Structure 1
Amino acid sequence: MDVHPELADVLAELPERIDATRDIQAARDGFKALMAPRMGPDARVTVEHRVAAGIDIQVVRPVGAQGTLPGVLYVHGGSFSFGELDGPSPMARDVCATAGAVVVNVHYRLAPEHPFPAGFEDCYAVLCWLAEHADDLGVDPDRIAVAGASAGGCLCAALCLAARDRGGPRIAFQTLLIPCLDDRCDTASMRAITDRRVTNGTLVARMWDAYLGTDRDRGPVSPYAAPARADDLSGLPAAYVLTCGADPLRDEGLDYARRLAEAGIPVTVKDVPGAWHLFEAFAPDSSLARETTAHWLAALREALHDTPRDVSRDVSRDALRDAPRHVPGEALS
């Protein structure tokens, strides 16, 4: 695995990843321990615990902010099966403080206890709640975005499809960070990343089995489960897509970004060579992690605050050029 020089020593110290499908509690405990150093109080924001549409959420606000602000539904990652369950994630707090937005952090139901569509429908219900209660929350209903990493990125892409198809809330921007999008798991990057210390192709395939449950036995997989299966990407919000070079999900992220661009959707793409899936959590103080986080936060802020440079149109043609191609809606063999 070709690893960025700044990350080589960190990778050398990593143990083998826990397979959540074999020990879900150990996987949840391990992820909580990984995130614990960054889960303490944050003086930049306030956090209000609430229930929306029967689902636990946190409403996160920038300290000292006044007037109407943009709103962001933040959806945590964690293979659809675990996540930052004790409070809003550091990424959600960064969105709030840096993008100057009211963030609604949703605690959706988790697989394998609750396979698709439970978690997705929870997120959609909270998205609708956010739009319906925009005035009460001090949120501009025309500046509501979705943002999430990994499984959260998948759920955000699915929310945009569903909002379009169901005539739901208008979403102004979608931030898809290292998203998992295609349950077929048939790309070059999926086959190439086999290192057991990081998220690899085998773990991703097992994740999809846990999330989809018996859905595959009932017929075609819904694009609300795996957004890469959507035939039509037109009419979706402008997007930011982050991928990493040593991530099995890289190719499907680049493929989805290219398809968005081909459908006329403004899209920004950033690929981080030599970085593995969620590397920022393992090397938070590295220059690469700080620069990567600053890049996507700036894109989200600029999209929500109408700043002069329209980063949503900053398409990286080099990143898209070599992405795998397939016919939308056609199964990969």
Structure 2
Amino acid sequence: MDLAQGDTPPFDPELGLVLAAWGDAVRDPLTPENLAAQQERDLATRPRPTVGELRADGRFEVAELRVPGRDVTLLSARPAEATGPLPLLYYMHGGGMVMGNAPSVLPQLLREWASPLGLAVISVEYGLAPRAQYPEPLEDCYAGLAWAAEHAAGLGIDAERIVIGGKSAGGGLAAALALLTRDRGGPTPIGQLLLCPMLDDRNTTFSSHQMAGVDIWDRTSNTTAWQALLGDRFGAADLPPYAAPARATDLSGLPPAYIDVGSAETFRDEDVAYADAIWRAGGQAELHVWPGAFHGFDSLAPEAALSQDARNARTRWLRRVLAQPANVET
């Protein structure tokens, strides 16, 4: 794809300053050669709060659960003062399918959504590639969702009010999970929260070329991650949509979606196209393209005005979805 030098969307000025302060290392791409070293580094440096730490001096009830018959761990948390069955946010962490952990995302989810909205949260410890390749990570997520819905009464959650969500790779898993549970007749979520979701293994969009070497997650990192996840199936013409939701040809009958992405990131075009495909199928999607935002901008620059706007918009959508009576489309 032929792009003139410099033909990239400008970064938001505040985000650009933060990115510059992080230096060039933040843009070092993930490659097959450095993948193992990057995974070791992530394991050593990414926070992994304990159950005791997540309880935050008794403000939250937190339990580590195992799905019988499958090697997958769920971290279940809810505000300690909450009574009655709570709506559930079933969440999958990011990390390009090759990094990340379930506990690391919980402090923010509990602080920003569980307490203010009266939510229970389950964070899924799905298998990471290349050790766990498709369909194993998705099946981990499906098994946990089905088990949680089946045991809703014991978990104190409302099985009729489940939102599935995730960020980056986790957003892609959430989109795939919505497709899979629809087609298997599994639990029916009331919404899917897709934050800069990783949806397309093909790496052929305009933005994937445009942001090469510019975004902190670019086409080199993206190709490395998809190859790790798909193995010999990488690039296959008949790859199922559950592996890469952008491959889906039928997006009907899905729960309402919230999709957000930055204008200056690799995933921009695949995420915009996914929202458009949902609309074309007669579904509902709320799409936000944050101007001048790079991938994961709100994590790298949480105090930036654009990051705060993004978090507030997500919270407003969640509040609206959760306010709807059961079995009423939002």
Q: TM over 0.5, yes or no?
A: yes
Structure 2 equivalent of residue 67 of structure 1 = 84
CA deviations 1:145-172 (Å, max 9, x no partner) are 1010011111111111111111111111
Q: Conserved in 2, the CA contact under 8 Å of 1:109 and 1:122?
A: yes
Using the TM superposition, name which of 47-56 and 28-37 deviates more: 28-37
Aligned positions, number: 310
Q: Which residues of structure 1 form unaligned runs of 5+? A: 314-333
Q: Conserved in 2, the CA contact under 8 Å of 1:246 and 1:274?
A: yes
Q: Conserved in 2, the CA contact under 8 Å of 1:257 and 1:269?
A: yes
Q: CA deviation at 1:194?
A: 1.8
Q: Which residues of structure 2 form unaligned runs of 5+? A: 1-7
Q: CA deviation at 1:115?
A: 0.9
- The 1:214–1:92 alpha-carbon spacing in structure 2 relative to 1, beyond 3 Å, is farther
- The 1:48–1:112 alpha-carbon spacing in structure 2 relative to 1, beyond 3 Å, is same
Q: How does 1:9-158 map to 2 (within 5 A)?
A: 9-14=17-22, 15=25, 16-19=27-30, 21-31=32-42, 36=47, 41=54, 43=56, 44-53=59-68, 54=70, 55-93=72-110, 94-158=112-176
Using the TM superposition, name which of 51-60 and 10-19 deviates more: 10-19
1:263 equivalent to 2:281? Answer yes
Letter matched to residue 138 of structure 1: G
Q: CA deviation at 1:32?
A: 5.8
**Secondary structure at 1:13's aligned position in 2?**
helix
**Secondary structure at 1:49's aligned position in 2?**
strand
Letter matched to residue 11 of structure 1: L
- The 1:306–1:197 alpha-carbon spacing in structure 2 relative to 1, beyond 3 Å, is closer
**Secondary structure at 1:261's aligned position in 2?**
helix
Match of 1:248 among 247, 251, 266: 266
Q: Conserved in 1, the CA contact under 8 Å of 2:246 and 2:274?
A: yes
Q: CA deviation at 1:59?
A: 0.3
Inter-partner Cα distance in structure 2 for 1:280 and 1:206: 24
Report sequence identity in percent.
Answer: 36
Q: Conserved in 2, the CA contact under 8 Å of 1:100 and 1:301?
A: no
Inter-partner Cα distance in structure 2 for 1:245 and 1:74: 24
Q: CA deviation at 1:89?
A: 3.5
Q: CA deviation at 1:46?
A: 3.1
- CA-based RMSD: 2.4
1:220 equivalent to 2:238? Answer yes
Inter-partner Cα distance in structure 1 for 2:148 and 2:186: 11
Inter-partner Cα distance in structure 1 for 2:270 and 2:107: 26
Inter-partner Cα distance in structure 2 for 1:147 and 1:182: 17
Q: CA deviation at 1:218?
A: 6.7
**Secondary structure at 1:89's aligned position in 2?**
helix
Inter-partner Cα distance in structure 2 for 1:139 and 1:202: 41
- The 1:91–1:147 alpha-carbon spacing in structure 2 relative to 1, beyond 3 Å, is farther
Q: Conserved in 2, the CA contact under 8 Å of 1:18 and 1:26?
A: no
Q: Conserved in 2, the CA contact under 8 Å of 1:98 and 1:297?
A: no
Using the TM superposition, name which of 84-93 and 280-289 deviates more: 84-93
Inter-partner Cα distance in structure 1 for 2:98 and 2:62: 24
**Secondary structure at 2:194's aligned position in 1?**
strand
- The 1:297–1:84 alpha-carbon spacing in structure 2 relative to 1, beyond 3 Å, is farther
**Secondary structure at 2:82's aligned position in 1?**
coil
CA deviations 1:3-23 (Å, max 9, x no partner) are 101112111123233515333
